[in-house]
Structure formats: C-alpha cells, structure tokens
Structure 1
Amino acid sequence: MRPTALLRNVAASGSGPTPFSSAHKAYVQSLYRRYLRNSLNWCIRRDIWRDRAIEIRAEFERARNIRNPRELARVLEQAEKQLEENAHPDPYKTPMGEDGTKWERNLPPRMFSKAEKEAALHGGH
C-alpha cells in the first residue's frame, strides 16, 4: 500500500491523526527491510555493507518522531521513490528461491499418457 493511501485510510476512519497503527508499523518495517536488501544487492561484502546498514537505520531514526501525517506521507513517498530509483538491475536471488540458481533443477520426469508411451516405443508410427 502506498504511504499516502495508508494515511488517507487512517484519516478517513475518524480516529484522528494516528498514522501509527499496526498497519503503518508493518509498512515502515517492510520499507526498512527492502532498503537493507537493496543495499546488500549493491555491496556483497558484509563488513562494508554494515556501514551502509547503519546509515539506513540512522535515516529511519531521524524520521521516527514525525507526527504530522502530511509530512510523514511526504517522507514515505520520497523514500519509496528513492528506493525505486536505486533498485539494483539484477538483484540477488537465493539459490532455492524462485528463479534462483537451483530453481526447478531436478524436476520430476514428465508423465506420459499410454498413447504417448506406445508412440515413443514404436518410433512415432
């Protein structure tokens, strides 16, 4: 969910300026993890990456005390835009994950129908 849509939903609910619901918290956590994952795609060495991870955490901590819903929506929208602009063109995929290096490597054999088996045995006649 886009940050502005999330804040509109909260404002429409009439519960006042509380964009800090559990859905908001989950969204910010997801955004933080996506930032870390993207930065790890750019830097393979963990010792160097750790400095970047600390910088990302500091950026999120600076925005932690924003209470104005409009300002918060603006900050989150900028973060999404920046993440999209800096996305790695070829992100790391886990070996067993979808499209990973081991994805569907050992597929089970194709099951033939009886007619296909006979055709294969008799040379396709």
Structure 2
Amino acid sequence: MFDKIEIFRMSQGLAKHAAARQSTIAQNVANADTPGYQARDIASFAETYETNADHGGMRATRAKHFGTTAGGYTATAPETIIRQGATSPNGNSVSLESEMMAAAEAKSDHNLALAVYNTSMNIMRASIGRR
C-alpha cells in the first residue's frame, strides 16, 4: 500500500543507495593496501534518481511491469564509478581520509532517508486520526 506513495519510494531508494555506497566504501578500505587497486564510488542519488524516474511517460504500476520495479525505477544496482585522485607508488588510489568522509556522507544520507520515512509515517497517522 505505502509503496505507491512517491515519498516512501524515494526514501526507500535513498536508503538502498546509502547501503550500496557503504558497501563500496568498505571494499575500498579493505583494498587500501592492494597494489593497483582503484578506489570506487557510486553515482550520486540525485543523478541516479533523475535518470531512473519516469517523468511524464508510461509509468510502471507494479513490480516487473515493463522490466522495472514499481514506479518506473530500474531494477539494476547503482552504477559504480572509479573515484579520481592521487595514486601511491604501487598504483593504489585509496585514501583512508577520503573514505572516512564518504562513509560519513553515506551515513548522513541513510539517516535522512529514515527521517523522511518516519516523518511521512507520522503525517499519515495524523491524517487518519491516529497518533
């Protein structure tokens, strides 16, 4: 029922994006000493959301409709990109400081998604007279 409301779909998408980004950051940290390893990241949620949203065209109304998930978003994982930056003499481009900053951003995005979801649920409860 709530999956058809756009704000719930958007907050769920942001939470999934933050989780995927945390996973990518964890892989970077795990490979911080691997020679030749290139640091990776996930495209921003705003870019992913804008490219996956279906504004004005046909819209999927249920899962697997038109090969997408409900709401017109693609079912594929966010695109992994190579993060640009300085490399060490062994060719590794992972900077633990950058990874810490990226992890903090991902945590902030996840907290934002949960706050939006909780606030939306409180508004829904208030609108039907339950608090």
Normalised by the size of structure 1, how large is the TM-score?
Answer: 0.34
More strand by share: 2
More helix by share: 1
Normalised by the size of structure 2, how large is the TM-score?
Answer: 0.33
Compare relative contact order (CA 8 Å, sep 6+) and give the higher one, 1 or 2: 2
